[in-house]
């Protein structure tokens, strides 16, 4: 049996296939998912699992160099925005790196998801709880 935090086989496999600059998206339950992008659907019910739960587990496994979020999250979902900033700060300390944080309009964000290798759909029911994790390298 795999030892570690992330035991979901599809997510683990998707991360293992990432190269430098490849994207994985963690999405709330309402984000449209392009037909050509792998959908990993974890949504069970409202809030289960939450966006932040999934983000924290994925970050335990993936080396990230940039995060992309919608500008609207600041105003429309300040609680998630603050949690995102705290999570990014903790990730930087743990990994001893500096992440680039890019904010784009929600429309641009949705266009960017078309390039993702996979989109992980959560049970999150709050607006703009979405993030693109752009892969870095471990060396």
Q: Which residues contact 20 (CB under 8 A, 6 or more apart)?
A: 65, 135, 136, 137
SS3 75: helix
20 in catalytic set: yes
Do residues 122 and 31 touch, judged by C-beta distance below 8 A? Answer: no
Structure tokens belonging to residue 137:
């390298």
49: alpha, beta or left? (left if phi > 0; alpha if psi -120 to 50)? beta
Of the residues 4, 5, 20, 60, only one is catalytic, namely: 20
- Would you please indicate which residues are annotated as catalytic (active-site) residues? 20
């Amino acid at each position: 049996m795999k030892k570690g935090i992330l035991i979901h086989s599809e997510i683990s496999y998707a991360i293992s296939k990432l190269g430098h600059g490849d994207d994985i998206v963690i999405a709330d339950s309402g984000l449209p998912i392009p037909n050509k992008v792998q959908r990993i659907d974890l949504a069970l019910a409202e809030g289960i699992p939450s966006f932040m739960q999934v983000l924290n587990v994925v970050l335990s496994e993936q080396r990230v160099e940039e995060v992309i979020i919608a500008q609207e999250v600041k105003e429309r979902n300040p609680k998630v925005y603050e949690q995102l900033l705290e999570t990014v700060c903790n990730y930087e300390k743990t990994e001893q790196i500096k992440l680039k944080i890019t904010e784009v309009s929600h429309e641009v964000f949705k266009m960017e998801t078309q390039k993702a290798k996979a989109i992980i759909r959560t049970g999150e029911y709050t607006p703009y709880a979405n993030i693109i994790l752009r892969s870095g390298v471990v060396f």
